[in-house]
Structure 1
Amino acid sequence: MASESVKVVVRCRPMNDRERALNCKAVVSLDSDRGQCFIEKPGAAEEPPKQFTFDGAYCTQHTTEQMYNEVAYPLVEGVTEGYNGTIFAYGQTGSGKSFTMQGVAELAAYRGVIPRAFEHIFETIQCAENTKFLVRTSYLEIYNEEIRDLLGNDTKQNMELKEHPEHGVYVRNLSMRTVHSVTECERLMEQGWRNRSVGCTLMNKDSSRSHSIFTIHMEICSTGQTLEILNPRFHSALTLCRP
């Protein structure tokens, strides 16, 4: 089904202060209605721009809220119904991954995809009837082909990647923290964020040198019947990845 397929969207950020100071010229343009991205070759005005088509294209005028409602909302809604989902941000250093995924906490209009997903999940939990939820989080980093637990007691320890015949690939002894609110999720996100491997680049003084994966694990159990133990329990996970 189309609703279950992988979708790829592109978001174009405005020029930063460094690029404006260097008098850089914009070479990317978007047609949001058609989901198309056009890239011009600098100094070759006679050549037609390269054209790429995506499931969605968002230019500088589009807000994170609009992008979330159109792209992420259906996926997160599916997670609250028992399906797994992944939101993966990919791009070079300085392309705007952190702004899109985490945003600016102090400004509601600039809140990123991750905090909006937290709010979405707990709003759903608060409104649910005859249902119990157990929500846990994990946060890991892949750096130089090594896996580190960003919420563990020893964040420098190399974790082992294993495979279960029924549950698939997992990280052995990865910390799982139970959370009860958006605030607790954000606190753990911030704790793990401080433990990342970072390094200065020409594009970003605090550039991440790794891939970080924050996962929200949900167990959903209906309590509509007299004997709760007879009711089915659904497991789902929302994985938020940011290289």
Structure 2
Amino acid sequence: MASEAVKVIVRCRPMNEREKALSCQAVISMDSPRGQCFIQNPGATDEPPKQFTFHGAYYESHNTEQIYNEIAYPLVEGVTEGYNGTIFAYGQTGSGKSFTMQGIVDPPTQKGIIPRAFEHVFESVQCAENTKFLVRVSYLEIYNEDIRDLLGANTKQKLKLKEHPEKGVYVKGLSLHTVHSVAQCERIMETGWRNRAVGYTLMNKDSSRSHSIFTINMEIYAVGRCQIPGSGLWETEHRTSLCNLVDNPRIKTGA
């Protein structure tokens, strides 16, 4: 089904102050309705631009709200129904991955995908009938191939990746924190963000060189319509799902 397919989008940010000071030239154009991105070689303007097609192409004028509604919303909605999903931000140093995932408060249209996912999840929890939810979160960092729990008692402790025959691949010792509101999620994310390893790069002096994964774990208990014979109890459907929100490490360049 198309709704279950992997989708790849591209987002182009505006030039930063350093690029403006260097009088850099824009070489990218987009046809958003068709999901196409064009890159022109500035040294060969007589040649046709290279063309790439994605599930979505978002230029400087597009905001995170639009990206969430068109791309992320169906995925997070699926998570609230018991399906796993992952949103993975990938790109060059300073390309705007953390801006898209974390976002800013003002203007509201640029609120990030992660806080929007928090709101989406708890709106679903509040609106659901005959259904109970247990929502827990975890936040880990992979830095120089070491895994750390950003919410653990000892954030410097290195954790190990394990594989279980039933639950699959997991991080041994990773802490899970029960949350009941958007505000709790935001406080936990802020705590983890402060614990991330931060390194200096020419593109962005606050750029983190780590790979972070914030995971929303949902357990869904839906009361069925049929009683179990002779027990007086109603059947209960139990589902579990994960929403992985990934901010990928920056790619080193010669810039």
* TM-score where L is the length of structure 1: 0.97
Task: State which of 212, 234, 242 in structure 1 corresponds to 2:239.
Answer: 234
Q: 1:143 to 1:132 in 2, by over 3 A?
A: same
Match of 1:222 in 2: 222
User: Contact between 2:224 and 2:235, CA under 8 Å: does it hold in 1?
Assistant: no
- Cα offset for 1:42? 2.4
SS in structure 2 at match of 1:70: helix
Match of 2:55 in 1: 55
2 CA distance for matches of 1:139 and 1:64?
22
- Cα offset for 1:48? 1.6
Match of 2:25 in 1: 25
Match of 2:179 in 1: 179
Long gaps (5+) in structure 1: none
SS in structure 1 at match of 2:192: helix
Aligned length: 243
Q: 1:199 to 1:238 in 2, by over 3 A?
A: same
2 CA distance for matches of 1:71 and 1:33?
14
Residue type of the alignment partner of 1:39: I
Deviation per CA, 1:160-206: give whole Å up to 9, x if none: 10001111100001010000000000101010001111111110011
RMSD value over aligned CA atoms? 1.3
Match of 1:73 in 2: 73
Deviation per CA, 1:119-145: give whole Å up to 9, x if none: 001011111111000000000011111
2 CA distance for matches of 1:47 and 1:91?
26
Q: Could you say which structure has the larger radius of gyration? A: 2
1:90 aligns with 2:90: yes
2 CA distance for matches of 1:228 and 1:172?
36
User: Contact between 1:222 and 1:228, CA under 8 Å: does it hold in 2?
Assistant: no
Residue type of the alignment partner of 1:218: M
Query: Any residues of structure 2 matched to 1:1-243 within 5 Å, and which?
Result: 1-224=1-224, 230-243=235-248
Residue type of the alignment partner of 1:222: A
SS in structure 1 at match of 2:245: strand
- Cα offset for 1:223? 2.9
User: Contact between 1:149 and 1:155, CA under 8 Å: does it hold in 2?
Assistant: yes
User: Contact between 1:131 and 1:224, CA under 8 Å: does it hold in 2?
Assistant: no
SS in structure 2 at match of 1:162: strand
User: Contact between 1:82 and 1:235, CA under 8 Å: does it hold in 2?
Assistant: yes
User: Contact between 1:137 and 1:215, CA under 8 Å: does it hold in 2?
Assistant: yes
Identity of aligned residues (%): 71
- Cα offset for 1:228? 6.4
SS in structure 1 at match of 2:18: helix
The farther-off stretch of 192-201 and 218-227 is: 218-227
SS in structure 2 at match of 1:199: coil
* TM-score where L is the length of structure 2: 0.92
Deviation per CA, 1:98-154: give whole Å up to 9, x if none: 111111135422201110010001011111111000000000011111101000011
2 CA distance for matches of 1:143 and 1:228?
49
1 CA distance for matches of 2:209 and 2:73?
29
2 CA distance for matches of 1:76 and 1:231?
23
